[in-house]
A and B are shown apart, each in its own frame.
Chain A
Amino acid sequence: EVQLVESGGGLVQPGGSLKLSCAASGFSISDSAMHWVRQASGKGLEWVGRVRSKVNSYATAYGASVKGRFTISRDDSKNTAYLQMNSLKTEDTAIYYCTREYSTGFYDIWGQGTMVTVSS
């Protein structure tokens, strides 16, 4: 079965750090860009960022609200993408989804999401 499974979410204090993982099964992520998208409770989808494939030099890009605080990486040998979140703020509280960007430029596979709560 083709799927993405996120893990690593939880409760963290403001200013803290957390690292999320996105494990793929049923397919290889090596040829795809992997993205993170978040959704605060009752709100819409917000793009967090992405990491491109090896042939695209593992290039990363980030949304304005997380740039400089979050880092996206990947380990193709483990078929896993990661989201390192530092200097967390209460407004980072959300469900975090990872998703694959298919070759024709759309999100075809989504994980079930992992909840991150930033609170003291």
Chain B
Amino acid sequence: SYELTQPPSVSVSPGQTASITCSGDKLGGKYISWFQQKPGQSPVVLIYQDTKRPSGIPERFSGSNSGNAANSGNTAILTISGTQAMDEADYYCQAWDSSTAIFGGGTKLTVL
């Protein structure tokens, strides 16, 4: 079965850039979504179709995928520029495989 791999945790200082990776076989050929989940809350979509941001999502959130960006390999990246304390949360990538939704294991972002 298809798997998406994320680092369990990422730390970043306020104002700095955080990068969260999501790896999977031939990931560049799939569309990736990214979700943010804060404790006790439902997930919220930050990025869809690799790079698109829904209305209301701050511009500091951006996405890339190895199929259409500078980074190489089977990796998608969520980038948070100018990270704020409110960005501390769990982040999940998600892709479709044979009409099945696959989620990465999640990454806990700590803003130190």
Contact = CB atoms under 8 A, between A and B. Distances in A.
A105 B96 contact: yes
A108 B45 contact: yes
- By size class, the interface of chain B is 20 to 34
Interface residues of A, number: 21
B106 A97 contact: no
A107 B105 CA distance: 17
Given A45-B43, A110-B42, A110-B44, A105 B103 contact: no
A44 interface: yes
B87 to A, nearest CB: 19
Contacts of B101: 35, 37, 47, 50
A105 B42 contact: no
Interface of B is mostly: strand
A106 B48 contact: yes
Interface string A90-114: 0000000100001011111011110
A111 B100 CA distance: 20
A107 B35 contact: yes
A47 B100 contact: yes
Interface string B45-63: 1001100001000000000
Interface string B67-102: 000000000000000000000000010101001111
Nearest to A95: B42
B103 A46 contact: yes
A102 B49 CA distance: 12
